[in-house]
Amino acid sequence: MSATPKVGTSHNGKDMHYSVGAMIKRGDTYLLIERNTPPFGFAGPAGHIDEGELSEDAVRREVQEETGFQLTNVTLLTADEELDWNWCRRGIEVHSWYLYEGSIEGDVDETNVREVKSIGWYTKEQIKTLTLEPVWKYWFKKYNII
Ligand SMILES: [Zn+2]
């Protein structure tokens, strides 16, 4: 849990972290967690890529840590997209994202969940009414989901 995020340099010369996120769909719903650390809001499972870690390994790890499930059918949607407004509580202002699509099997069991306030499946109509973490609002708009 004390792993060190990989650090790079953004196009505008700032320190940059690397992030992974998972867009997990089942039927017409998406799996969202409510984050218990800043930035707050509803979000897909996500987190930093650690030093020496491959992005796909990182997304599988984060999904496991935040939902208790193994991510399957993993497909890369976005690679190395720098977002210069996406800050984290470690004080880094730029994150380069690797966004994946995937699925999980079985029902969500809240007792499995660590590191999050709540977890559930939400329709597009419900997602439009939630307070999303800004980066997830960006992804859902980019992929025309909301
Ligand atoms: Zn960061």
Measured in Å, residue 92 CA sits from the centre of ligand 1 at: 5
Instruction: Give residue 68 CA to ligand 1 midpoint distance, Å.
Output: 22
For domain 7-142, is the CATH number 3.90.79.10? Answer: yes
Kindly give the distance from the C-alpha atom of residue 91 to the centroid of ligand 1, in angstroms, as a whole number: 7
User: Given 3-state DSSP classes, what are the helix, strand and coil percentages for the chain, each rounded to the nearest 5?
Assistant: 20, 40, 40
> Tell me, what DSSP letter sits at residue 49?
P
**Ligand 1 centroid from CA 18, angstroms:** 7
Q: Rounded to the nearest whole angstrom, what is the distance from the C-alpha of residue 106 to the centroid of ligand 1?
A: 31
Span from the CA of 90 to the centroid of ligand 1 (angstroms): 6
Question: How remote is the C-alpha of 103 from its chain's centroid?
Answer: 14
Query: Higher-confidence residue: 42 or 108?
Result: 42
pLDDT at position 110 is 63
| pLDDT value at 115 more than 70 | no
Give the percent of the chain with pLDDT over 90.
Answer: 79
pLDDT of residue 2 exceeding 70: no
Mean pLDDT lowest among 39-43, 76-80, 131-135: 39-43
Q: How distant is the alpha carbon of residue 142 from its chain centre? A: 15
- The Cα–Cα gap between 66 and 47 comes to 10
**Cα of 89 to ligand 1 centre, how many Å?**
7
Phi/psi at 64 (5° precision): -60, -45
Query: Does position 13 have pLDDT exceeding 80, yes or no?
Result: yes
Residues 67, 138: Cα–Cα separation, whole Å: 22
